[in-house]
Amino acid sequence: MLAIARQRMLGQSFKKILPAVSVLRSYSSAAKQITVREALNSALDEEMSADPKVFLMGEEVGEYQGAYKITKGLLEKYGPERVLDTPITEAGFTGIGVGAAYYGLKPVVEFMTFNFSMQAIDHIINSAAKSNYMSAGQISVPIVFRGPNGAAAGVGAQHSQCYAAWYASCPGLKVLSPYNSEDARGLLKAAIRDPDPVVFLENELLYGESFPVSDEVLDSSFCLPIGKAKIEREGKDVTITAFSKMVGYALKAAEMLEKDGIYAEVINLRSIRPLDRSTINTSVRKTNRLITVEEGFPQHGVGAEICASVVEESFSYLDAPVERIAGADVPMPYAANLERMAVPQVEDIVRAAKRACYRSELEGY
């Protein structure tokens, strides 16, 4: 019922809050457009077809075809032994998934929202992330935990948190967060093939978004490297790092900044842990300025880690203080007007970039 109610709510508000999408993306030979939902579904389908050890489990993944239709058609194709509907008991089915991974299977565990993963966090952290180390490498845990992460629309404080920083702080986990269809398809395939536990953070507001993809991306062998960021837009004046939905916002901000003669370089992190520190620092050494953007809370966030990395490795290259754009340091409000104020907006990124470039007078203050 929660999934149905949220889908109806999203259907009414989706057009108002679509993430900004740059027309200047650097895709090679873009042959067609597919949605993020289709990219995730095709990645699951192809990996299940290629490896009989891969199976899916979670609430409503089978008969209902997924709360957000990511697993559409997979129960019919692979049967109930490989697409398992579970009770509403995250601690239970996550523990079962980790146990299956101990024995060589490759579970893909879906959380209807990552907020519900808190019910299962003991299995994710203590059972999955630490077993390879504590067994001296004798136990591999090839499991993927996936589902929507971060703020949606009008679902309140308990269903709007970003868990990127939570899970990225834990050794033993890999944490990925796709932005577009290429990311979603290539990173999910990489996550399923990886021998270690992977937390895969999607965004439900992006599921219906369409992005151009090349023939290479559509090939069944396509896979993106874990731990490698992508420069979505090159620039010379300021570096903007972002992940998930915020990449679209950063690209839109870069378009607006260009009209004022500021050329921003936008980095799509893709991988939160491991973090591509090399790409970030190389960019900062070129632009001499850094803006980090994320939806999560500011304290101890992903942006804070990026700032620390740049200060440690590239401090002498900075020509301005680092700017962090993050969600407000409050529980997410339910009221729509307050909710908008609690998450980063394109205008926030533009203002920060102008401050970093000492161009804030253009805004009248």
Has 90 been annotated as catalytic?
yes
Could you tell me if 145 and 196 are in contact, meaning their C-beta atoms sit under 8 angstroms apart? no
List all residues 6 or more positions away from 196 whose beta carbon is below 8 Å from its beta carbon: 132, 140, 141, 142, 172, 173, 174
How far, in Å, CA of 270 to CA of 262, rounded?
Answer: 25
Phi and psi, residue 166, nearest 5°: -55, -55
Has 63 been annotated as catalytic?
no
Task: Give the relative orientation of helices 346-356 and 245-258 as an angle to the nearest 10 degrees.
Answer: 50
How far, in Å, CA of 42 to CA of 345, rounded?
Answer: 31
Catalytic residue among 46, 90, 209, 295: 90
CA nearest to 229, candidates 154, 192, 160, 280: 280
How far, in Å, CA of 55 to CA of 331, rounded?
Answer: 35
Residue 85: other Cβ atoms inside 10 A: 16
Q: Is 122 left (phi over 0), alpha (psi -120 to 50) or beta?
A: alpha
Catalytic residue among 46, 159, 202, 209: 159
Could you tell me if 18 and 209 are in contact, meaning their C-beta atoms sit under 8 angstroms apart? yes
Catalytic residue positions?
90, 159
